[in-house]
Amino acid sequence: MQRHGPNLMNASPHSRLPRSIELGLLIAVLLVAIVFRFAQFGQVPPGLHYDEAIDAHLAQEIRSGAWPVYFEEGWGREPLYHYLVAFTLNFVPDPTSALRLVSGILGLIQLLAAYLLFRKLFGIYMALIGAAWIAVLFWTVSTSRAGLRNITLTTLATLTALAFWWAWDRRRGARVESDLQPRPTPRRWPWPPTSSFILHPSSFILPGILLGLTLYTYQPSRVVPLVFLIFIAYLFLIDRPAVRARWRSLIVFFGIALVISLPLIVFLANHPGAETGRAFQTEPIRAMLRGDFSQVSETAAATLKMFTVEGGGDPQPLYNISGRPLFVGLGSILFYLGLIVCVVRWKRPAYAFMLIWLIVALLPNMLTAPAPFFYRAIAAQTPTLALPAIGTVALGELFGRGAGSLSKKAKFSVPRWAARRDSSILVIVIAAGSLGQTAVTTWHDYFDVWGNDKDVQFQYSADQTAIAHALDASSDTSPVIISGMFVEDSDPYIFDQTLHRGDLSIRWFDANSALIAVAGASSERVALPSFAPLDDMLKSRFLGSVSPITSTKEFKIYPFDAAAFRSEIEQWATRPGAVGTTPQLPVAFDGNIQLLGIERAVTISRTQAALVVLTAWRVTSEWQPSSTAIFIHVTDANGAIVGRAQDDRLGFPRHGWHTGDEFVQLQRIPIADVPPGNYVLELGVYTRDGGRRWMAQVANGQSLGDHISLGSIEVTP
């Protein structure tokens, strides 16, 4: 018989399965995982989220020749995931599909690595059950289907743990902590070091490389080295000779990791502002350093609730059904049972390792805001899902020992094979019941509930993705103006990754306040997502009763006569009831746009609540994009704004301006609290960042200052 460390045992019919059965069960688990990760591919999630679009864009930068060790975009991003996506884009040109494919494959690699790790530490039963939990839990399914870099952290952390344990103990033979068998007399773990088992330090090169690469995945990865440092300290306490025998190997392990991660460390040291956008997340830590532990207490408590407490899960619909905990039903009991088993067996290194991994990986979630945040806790996925598997096998062990004790008291003998058989049956029944329940609830909650949630559809740009697909499928090459709610930043950024053709002239606008005629176009198309329809006044004025070209529940696309639009706005009255001097139009602002015309009432009753002003504009030059607004103020004789009578907006953001574009801006100025009387309308343009107003100038070059008068307005009771 082979020798083993404490509480280890020889292989038996129950601690190992015939290779064919083991392989068949593993393949079955993999097939289930593949179905959960690739079913309804491209439909759930329905489109790209802004963070996914950023990751796709950064991958394309790598394909264009960039070799970053860190990206400062999007509050700072480690690049390993983007390199993988960039490579995949060579074979899968659609960015959305490339992102999803990489994440799905990384999820499968995590599953296989976890299976091999669990098998080495705990045996085949626990390995198969743990892998099955990874295959079907909502948390692991959702992270494997989202095109986000976070998934690389849990995959690399699991691979690092597997390589570490293989390097630490490469002795051949079955070495499991427990698997439905009574435990032999304890011995020192791993075993008294002898020359035949002291490995060359080079065995730790691969684990060191993987640990170093882990730091290039996602910010919470920076606690992963701490898992191994604490575990080595733990081993030093319980088995000092084993650690001393491998001190050179450990130096290689951590040294290689340091060398691999050094470029990232140097970059961050030289770019202290690279992650300042995440400063709000570390406020609980800063408060703790000031002596205020209340915020850390709240985030820690919220993190602990995320496992089983109803309503305690991640509240963000982006990643979860708001408040849904990680475990639902029987899995909750098995999770806590596995946690208890690990605590009770803390002197056995495999169980201690899982506890240390779980606790350390949760620290970023427990110490930062907001909490709970499933993605920030993603490094804890593998140890978390080891626990219900450990709990399941522990129940089988408990049943086996109970049956043996009962037979002794009853003075009859139960064959060991019968006890093992009954224990195995119990484990199989518990595993099948808990995993079956989890698989059913995950499928329903993810595909039926989460995938059809309106907030999810909105956050993942479902409507605009449908517009992109419709434009790709159309042979029409006329320009398209597209409405959205985030037209200054995320909407065009996401759409650029979704639309596959490059022969369309695209403009983005806020359909609640603007309408655009694309430069040089006599006809164009207006694409309106269901959540961003065209303002009723603009629609009746410029679209009339025209029928949409395409109409679905997600969007409508209308034909638009741009030539007629231009003809109409050029005829608008230019000086409606001037008070003082109203300039001759057009008026240029900073040489970038010209005010062409104005339409508004001269007299308005307070009962109408709002004064509607339509202004027509032409873009005369393209400029560095920045957030800009057109203001219209109702002012008194002293030039002061009356009450809340002002409106500042720009429905055609500057990043989309092209020379020759013309647009109408609609503004509604509230006048319900304006006393009856005569007032002056003032108009100007300013850059939001810093508040700098643009200078107005008439055609002959005369400067008008930083605003112009649109004439008088009489407010009646």
* Tens of pLDDT, residues 667-709: 999 998 899 999 999 999 999 999 999 999 988 888 999 999 9
How many other C-beta atoms lie within 10 A of the C-beta of residue 707? Answer: 21
pLDDT of residue 396: 85
Strand arrangement of the beta sheet that strand 708-716 belongs to: 603-605, 708-716, 677-687, 628-635, 641-649
Task: Note the pLDDT tens digit of each residue in 367-384.
Answer: 998 899 999 999 999 999
Strand arrangement of the beta sheet that strand 696-698 belongs to: 514-517, 662-670, 610-619, 593-600, 587-589, 696-698, 703-705
How many other C-beta atoms lie within 10 A of the C-beta of residue 364? Answer: 24
Say which residues have a Cβ less than 8 Å from residue 372's Cβ, sequence separation at least 6: 302, 303, 305, 306, 312, 313, 314, 315, 365
User: pLDDT-based confidence at 201, cuts 50/70/90?
Assistant: confident
Angle between helices 490-498 and 95-122 (to 10 degrees): 90
**Is residue 592 a contact partner of residue 625, using CB atoms and an 8 Å limit?**
no
Q: Is the pLDDT of residue 21 over 70?
A: yes
**Is residue 470 a contact partner of residue 550, using CB atoms and an 8 Å limit?**
yes
Structural element, H or E, at residue 666: strand 662-670
Q: Is the pLDDT of residue 2 over 70?
A: no
Say which residues have a Cβ less than 8 Å from residue 425's Cβ, sequence separation at least 6: none
Helix, coil or strand: residue 84: helix
Query: C-alpha 266: how far from its chain's center?
Result: 27
pLDDT (mean) for 657-669: 96
- 324: tokens are 């849904």
Cα four-point dihedral sign 251, 256, 257, 261? positive
Q: CA angle 245-251-253, nearest 5°?
A: 105
pLDDT of residue 415: 53
Percentage of the chain lying above the pLDDT 70 cut: 89
- Nearest Cα residue to 387 out of 350, 346, 338: 338
**Is residue 352 a contact partner of residue 291, using CB atoms and an 8 Å limit?**
no
CA-to-CA distance for 169 and 630, rounded, in angstroms? 69
User: pLDDT-based confidence at 35, cuts 50/70/90?
Assistant: very high
pLDDT (mean) for 217-240: 96
Task: Note the pLDDT tens digit of each residue in 36-54.
Answer: 999 999 999 999 999 999 9
Whole-Å CA distances, 87 to 56, 78, 261: 12, 16, 21
Look at the block and give the residue holding tokens 């038996």: 12
What are the helix (H) ranges across 539-591? 562-569
CA-to-CA distance for 544 and 540, rounded, in angstroms? 5
Position with higher pLDDT, 260 vs 182: 260
pLDDT of residue 573: 59
CA-to-CA distance for 669 and 701, rounded, in angstroms? 31
Task: Please tell me whether the peptide bond between 272 and the residue prior to it is cis, using omega within 30 degrees of 0.
Answer: no
pLDDT of residue 609: 83
Across 212-216, 277-281, 505-509, least confident range: 277-281
**DSSP code at position 656:** G
Helix, coil or strand: residue 462: helix
User: pLDDT-based confidence at 173, cuts 50/70/90?
Assistant: very low
**DSSP code at position 60:** H
- 319: tokens are 């990643």
pLDDT (mean) for 333-341: 97
φ and ψ at residue 53, rounded to 5 degrees: -65, -40
CA-to-CA distance for 213 and 434, rounded, in angstroms? 35
- Nearest Cα residue to 470 out of 545, 529, 532: 529
Amino acid at 28: A
CA-to-CA distance for 613 and 647, rounded, in angstroms? 10
How many other C-beta atoms lie within 10 A of the C-beta of residue 406? Answer: 11
Q: Is the pLDDT of residue 188 over 50?
A: no
pLDDT of residue 583: 66
- 439: tokens are 């698989």
User: pLDDT-based confidence at 307, cuts 50/70/90?
Assistant: very high
For the chain, counts of helices (H) and of strands (E):
22, 17
Look at the block and give the residue holding tokens 């595909």: 447
pLDDT of residue 620: 94
Helix, coil or strand: residue 431: helix
- 515: tokens are 């309408």
Strand arrangement of the beta sheet that strand 550-551 belongs to: 506-509, 480-483, 523-529, 555-561, 550-551
Q: What is the DSSP string of 257-300?
A: HHHHHHHHHHHHHH-TTTTGGGGGGGHHHHHHHTT--HHHHHHH
User: pLDDT-based confidence at 182, cuts 50/70/90?
Assistant: very low
pLDDT (mean) for 128-147: 97
DSSP β-bridge partners for residue 633: 646, 682
**Is residue 543 a contact partner of residue 560, using CB atoms and an 8 Å limit?**
yes
pLDDT of residue 555: 97
Helix, coil or strand: residue 624: coil
Q: Are strands 628-635 and 677-687 parallel, antiparallel or unpaired?
A: antiparallel
- 484: tokens are 């959205």
pLDDT of residue 194: 40
**For the purposes of burial, counting CB atoms within 10 Å of the CB of 268, is it exposed (0-12), middle (13-18) or buried (19 or more)?**
middle
Whole-Å CA distances, 575 to 67, 565, 566, 579, 691: 57, 20, 19, 10, 28
